[in-house]
């Protein structure tokens, strides 16, 4: 009896302990939810601090919080380009902000158009007589371009800067697939449609090489022109023509080489940089750590400066990332999700619509679903403009065709008007292991397409015919939109990719300009004056899981700021580029094996894959979380 009583007391104690633990977890979670939204009360005089520990994007990727928490890895940081521009423009006019400070120690870039857009906002801050200071261990291409617009560019003495220029190598699997006797059935239209080449060849075709030589040459010229205008003393040509001699002249000291070339202004560690900033904006009364200075972070600043919403709304729908079937996103352009947002806006009495595109394309069916949804809004008699960001190619151009006017930047990548599909079969591979397929067919299409037994000539002909029909539909949509003949469109199509400057010359783009220009054009067409309209971002509101997750996974101080982390040195940065290329292997092979319909996708336009850290022991938990979500 005594033993039973002890066991009972033990069970009660365990129960009480677990209840206490769950109660603490509940109140902790409740506190985090209540404090996750940035508090405008955190805004203090000093510097606007932009800690760009990630990439600049058109639309932040949706986060599965349970998956991230179970994996123990914080998601890669993302910063909405329009948020950054709004923050900088409001900071330029606010007396509380004495300077703008940008920490790019872990900056991952964001594309030339995004850098130009944010760089122009930095120029407006400087025009308001407020200094802009940047710090990084190592600056790479996008970082160099952005920092060129700063008043003072600092680099760690153990770091420096490197300029590689656009372009690089892609991986080709043609010989690998032959070795394993995998037959990649390719159906395409477009001499320049290079997205299928990795599965057929071991090198780039001459038409593709011709196309991308022209494209990258234009992008490189625009990059150099932007940096030269913002930082005339920078010796870009010297760095590009003989980078080895440039570094060797500084005895292998990357930081000194960057200083000599005018890419950076001063060398110093984070503490020395902080002391310099403190002389401009004042010391932080709440933080006595070396190098601390008075500042306000991006999130509370945005919370304190929410955009005004006067007059009638002009809708802005963002199509960012690969266009896919289903409800995916944000950060990926799920056709169902975006069409749903546009359908919901039918009752919003919009004065007009701006379609913001930053996509290399993807599913033809999803692209068409989005196009139809845009046309439903357009049928209400409102003007529709398209604003192209870094990318608006293939499916990204397909969804642009309903626009009354198309805006792009000279460095926008667009075009790639072509269609393809890739379906692998494994009959030869399985035959080596004694596996065959056989059966009775009532028609030539019974059991086709057969991934195990292979395709017959009839299914091959039917699928190629379907791809050709899809290409004709693409040409027709572009021809109607651009008021050209299909023959004229075909000459500039064939999967060829164009820079924004050339695209304007050949009629695929109407004029240069960014999102503000597109909004102003729509307002003018709707006969609205300044102050009589505002931009309404469709589907913009998102829960702020990112703030909570950073506090839990990374840790942080009372203001939610993670502990200071030094950026990677030059060797680590260069090695990281190879990690991204290795990660591309998985992405390319996954694309081959994934069941997909017709694709309007631009391989060379797609952003480089960033290597993601993962804990093998937690992968099954992350998978479970994805199933629960």
The per-residue DSSP string of 114-136 comes to HHHHHHHHHHHHHHTT--EEEEE
Tell which wins on pLDDT, 423 or 332: 332
- Asked if residue 337 lies in contact with residue 329, where contact means CB atoms within 8 angstroms, the answer is yes
What integer is the mean pLDDT of 337-363?
A: 95
What integer is the mean pLDDT of 204-213?
A: 90
pLDDT at 624: 42
What's the chain's average pLDDT?
84
pLDDT at 546: 55
List, by residue number, the catalytic residues: 193, 394
What integer is the mean pLDDT of 253-265?
A: 94
**Mean pLDDT: which of 11-25, 201-215, 399-413 is highest?**
399-413
List of residues 6+ apart from 148 with CB closer than 8 A: 119, 226, 227, 230, 231, 234
Tell which wins on pLDDT, 188 or 397: 397
List of residues 6+ apart from 5 with CB closer than 8 A: none
What integer is the mean pLDDT of 563-592?
A: 59
Whether the model pTM is above 0.95: no
pLDDT at 59: 92
pLDDT at 526: 96
CA distance 191 to 207: 7
SS3 143: helix
The mean-pLDDT minimum among 74-78, 531-535, 601-605 falls in 601-605
Tell which wins on pLDDT, 13 or 144: 144
308 pLDDT tier (thresholds 50, 70, 90): confident
Decide if pLDDT at 548 tops 60. Answer: no
- Asked if residue 431 lies in contact with residue 452, where contact means CB atoms within 8 angstroms, the answer is no
pLDDT at 276: 96
What integer is the mean pLDDT of 401-412?
A: 97
Peptide bond into 253 cis (omega under 30): no
Tell which wins on pLDDT, 29 or 37: 29
What integer is the mean pLDDT of 315-323?
A: 95
Decide if pLDDT at 142 tops 60. Answer: yes
pLDDT at 562: 40
What integer is the mean pLDDT of 210-218?
A: 92
477 pLDDT tier (thresholds 50, 70, 90): very high
Q: Which residues of 521-557 are buried (b: 16+ CB within 10 A; e: fewer)?
A: bbbebbebeeeebbbbbbbbeeeebbbbbbbbbeeee
What integer is the mean pLDDT of 331-360?
A: 95
Q: What percent of the chain has pLDDT over 70?
A: 78
pLDDT at 169: 83
């Amino acid at each position: 009896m005594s033993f039973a009583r002890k066991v009972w007391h033990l069970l009660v104690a365990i129960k009480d302990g677990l209840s206490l633990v769950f109660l603490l977890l509940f109140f902790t979670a409740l506190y985090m939810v209540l404090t996750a939204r940035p508090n405008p009360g955190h805004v203090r005089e000093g510097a606007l601090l932009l800690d760009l520990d990630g990439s600049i994007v058109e639309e932040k990727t949706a986060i599965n919080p349970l998956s991230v928490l179970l994996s123990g890895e914080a998601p890669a940081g993302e910063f909405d380009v329009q948020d950054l521009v709004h923050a900088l423009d409001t900071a330029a006019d606010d007396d509380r902000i004495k300077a703008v400070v940008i920490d790019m120690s872990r900056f991952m870039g964001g594309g030339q158009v995004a850098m130009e857009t944010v760089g122009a906002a930095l120029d407006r801050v400087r025009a308001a007589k407020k200094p802009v200071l940047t710090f990084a261990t190592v600056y790479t291409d996008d970082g160099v371009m952005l920092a060129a617009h700063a008043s003072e560019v600092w680099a760690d003495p153990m770091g420096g800067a490197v300029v590689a220029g656009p372009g690089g190598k892609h991986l080709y699997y043609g010989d690998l697939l032959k070795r394993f006797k995998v037959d990649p059935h390719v159906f395409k239209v477009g001499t320049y449609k290079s997205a299928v080449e990795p599965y057929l060849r071991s090198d780039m075709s001459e038409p593709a090489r011709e196309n991308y030589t022209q494209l990258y040459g234009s992008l490189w010229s625009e990059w150099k022109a932007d940096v030269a205008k913002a930082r005339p003393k920078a010796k870009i040509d010297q760095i590009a023509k003989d980078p080895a001699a440039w570094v060797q002249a500084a005895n292998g000291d990357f930081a000194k080489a960057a200083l000599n070339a005018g890419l950076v202004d001063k060398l110093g560690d984070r503490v020395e940089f902080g002391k310099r900033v403190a002389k401009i904006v004042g010391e932080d009364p709440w933080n006595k750590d070396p190098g601390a200075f008075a500042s306000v972070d991006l999130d509370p600043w945005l919370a304190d400066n929410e955009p005004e919403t006067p007059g009638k709304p002009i809708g802005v729908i963002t199509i960012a990332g690969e266009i896919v079937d289903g409800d995916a996103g944000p950060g990926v352009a799920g056709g169902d999700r975006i069409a749903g947002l546009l359908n919901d806006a039918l009752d919003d009495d919009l004065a007009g619509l701006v379609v913001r595109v930053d996509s290399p394309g993807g599913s033809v069916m999803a692209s068409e679903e989005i196009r139809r949804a845009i046309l439903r809004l357009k049928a209400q008699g409102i003007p529709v403009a398209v604003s192209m960001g870094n990318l608006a190619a293939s499916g990204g151009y397909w969804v642009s065709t309903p626009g009354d006017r198309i805006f792009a930047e000279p460095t926008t990548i667009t075009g790639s008007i072509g269609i393809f599909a890739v379906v692998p079969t494994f009959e030869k591979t399985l035959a080596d292991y004694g596996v065959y397929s056989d059966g009775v067919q009532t028609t030539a299409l019974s059991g086709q397409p057969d991934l195990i037994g292979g395709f017959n000539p009839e299914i091959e002909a039917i699928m190629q015919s379907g791809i050709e029909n899809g290409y004709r539909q693409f040409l027709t949509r572009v021809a109607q939109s651009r008021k050209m003949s299909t023959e004229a469109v075909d000459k500039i199509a064939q999967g060829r990719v164009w820079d924004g400057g050339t695209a304007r010359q050949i009629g695929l783009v109407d004029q240069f300009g960014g999102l503000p220009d597109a909004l102003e054009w729509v307002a003018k067409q709707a006969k609205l004056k300044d102050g009589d309209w505002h931009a309404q971002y469709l589907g913009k509101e998102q829960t702020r899981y990112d703030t909570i997750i950073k506090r839990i996974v990374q840790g942080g101080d009372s203001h939610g700021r993670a502990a200071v982390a030094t950026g990677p040195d030059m060797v680590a940065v260069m090695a990281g580029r190879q990690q991204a290329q290795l990660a591309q292997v998985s992405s390319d092979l996954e694309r081959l094996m994934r069941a997909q319909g017709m694709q309007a996708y631009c391989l060379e336009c797609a952003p480089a894959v960033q290597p993601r850290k993962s804990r093998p022991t937690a992968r099954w938990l992350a998978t479970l979380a994805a199933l629960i979500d």
